[in-house]
Amino acid sequence: MSTEPFAAVDVIRAKRDGGRLADEQIDWVIDAYTRGVVAEEQMSALAMAIFLRGMDASETARWTGAMIDSGDRLALKVARPTVDKHSTGGVGDKITLPLAPLVAACGAAVPQLSGRGLGHTGGTLDKLESIPGWRAELSTEDISRQLDEVGAVVCAATDGLAPADRKLYALRDVTSTVESVPLIASSIMSKKIAEGAAGLVLDVKVGSGAFMKTREQARELAAAMVEIGAAHGVRTTALLTDMGTPLGRAVGNAVEVAEAVEVLRGEGPADVVALTLALAREMLDLAGLTEADPAEALASGRAYETWCRMIRAQGGDPDAELPRPRHVHVVEAGQTGILSTMDAYGVGVAAWRLGAGRERRGEPVQHAAGIRCLVKPGEHVEAGRPVFELHTDTPEAVPAALAALDGALSYSVDHPADGDATRDDAPAVGEGIVLEIVRS
């Protein structure tokens, strides 16, 4: 006879029929699933019921809390104010690389526990592992020590953080329940809250290269995560940012590291610099460091110095040459005109097929693989001008990458006005890369 306080079938039925799950039911089902009492097929049915019926804000907050309680919380003992950042994933999204040392250079502690890529979106750890000697796996003691000494750490999450989410994430991936806003929000926030930072800035991507294709979807997800943060005592802000076009001019692993270093040296594409500064200002505001000037920290070289210290602290050599591809294929423009659009999804899939990403978890990636975008929307292009460089160690992957890029570019025959043909800037909130800001 079972001694469990609930039966999984009753919890599934309650949500299937549109009911609200009781706090005790949520606590039990997450704990029982983690222990193996609730079977995979039962949690699959519950995930689909949640996908179809949804959860209200209080249910989602409780679900998040139960996933946090399934494991450990990172007990950070740091003198500096702590603040973290999370991106929902995009193409060319190397922002964590310059952002963490930049915010640390301004006085905050940034415990950035990151992940690996899957599909067309890149993973921060995959990028950093292109640096010779750099290691992702750190103990809790290592993390606290590095935060004290350097102010920033980017590493893999420890196994003890939110183990229920690890199981449920894999299950959602094979049951077509990934797109559920309550399940996405609770998955992200359970890991981030368990990391222990007092403040959190979310970069919610919108567009073809993002998981949220429309601003309405992104706004719903952003609001849900901000509410969860508030319910758990973590000051949270979300920025909705454009992912219709790849971010910057590099997509892949080593090529993105190189571009991040350019930004840290006071150069780099304007859109990457603008988004890095926008997120840095929000993070510093949540950390109470409102007098800090991230633009000055970039210009002075202090952020780059912090980057070098952060890489060395994890065994890497910031001065080492990054991996070079064995094969480079140049794609030329098929016509003359103004480049109107560059589809982020197509570019992301092409980089993935070149070896920059993986199809299944655990597969290796090519650190030299990726794409350099030699032009960006708004620029005038002559027919025959190089528009992409495809980098790979496996030339046989090029045809599949070219197929993904088919139709990724569109041109306008209109002449550029007022010398704007080579603009690479980032307009203000509502006009450019930052679309909206959601605060609690």
Write down the catalytic residue from 15, 62, 85, 86.
86
> For 328-347, what is each residue's pLDDT tens digit?
999 999 999 999 999 999 99
Write down the catalytic residue from 130, 187, 190, 208.
187
At 414 the pLDDT is 63
Q: Mean pLDDT throughout 275-303? A: 97
Active site residue 86: yes
Give the C-alpha separation, 72 to 53, whole Å: 30
- 142: which 2 tokens? 């290592």
Distances (CA, A) of 267 to 257, 259, 262, 264, 303: 13, 9, 5, 7, 12
Write down the catalytic residue from 84, 165, 242, 271.
165
Q: Mean pLDDT throughout 20-35? A: 97
Q: Which of 371, 388, 250, 391 is nearest to 327 (CA)?
A: 391
Q: Which of 306, 319, 315 is nearest to 147 (CA)?
A: 306
Write down the catalytic residue from 85, 191, 205, 358.
191
3-state secondary structure the chain: CCCCCCCHHHHHHHHHCCCCCCHHHHHHHHHHHHHCCCCHHHHHHHHHHHHHHCCCHHHHHHHHHHHHHCCECCCCCCCCCEEEEEECCCCCCCCHHHHHHHHHHCCCEEEEEECCCECCECCHHHHHCCCCCCCCCCCHHHHHHHHHHCCEEEEECCCCECHHHHHHHHHHHCCCCCCCHHHHHHHHHHHHHHCCCCEEEEEEEECCCCCCCCHHHHHHHHHHHHHHHHHCCCEEEEEEEECCCCCCCEEECHHHHHHHHHHHCCCCCHHHHHHHHHHHHHHHHHCCCCCCCHHHHHHHCHHHHHHHHHHHHCCCCCCCCCCCCCEEEEEECCCCEEEEEECHHHHHHHHHHHHHCCCCCCCCCCCCCEEEECCCCCCEECCCCEEEEEEECCHHHHHHHHHHHCCCEEEECCCCCCCHHHCCCCCCCCCCCEEEEEEC
When mean pLDDT is compared across 3-7, 240-244, 251-255, 390-394, the lowest value belongs to 3-7
Label residue 407 by pLDDT band (50, 70, 90).
very high
At 424 the pLDDT is 44
Distances (CA, A) of 10 to 1, 20, 22, 53, 151: 17, 12, 12, 16, 48
At 421 the pLDDT is 39
Active site residue 172: yes
> For 116-134, what is each residue's pLDDT tens digit?
776 677 789 999 999 999 9
Active site residue 191: yes
Give the C-alpha separation, 378 to 222, whole Å: 29
Domains located in the chain, CATH noted: 8-54 (1.20.970.10), 83-320+430-439 (3.40.1030.10), 327-422 (3.90.1170.30)
Buried b (16+ CB within 10 A) or exposed e, 211-245: bbbebebbbbbbbbbbbbbebbebbbbbbbbbbbb
pTM, to two decimals? 0.91
> For 8-17, what is each residue's pLDDT tens digit?
999 999 999 9
At 428 the pLDDT is 40
Active site residue 190: no
At 430 the pLDDT is 39
> For 165-174, what is each residue's pLDDT tens digit?
989 988 987 8
Q: Which of 394, 74, 2, 434 is nearest to 238 (CA)?
A: 434
Active site residue 213: no
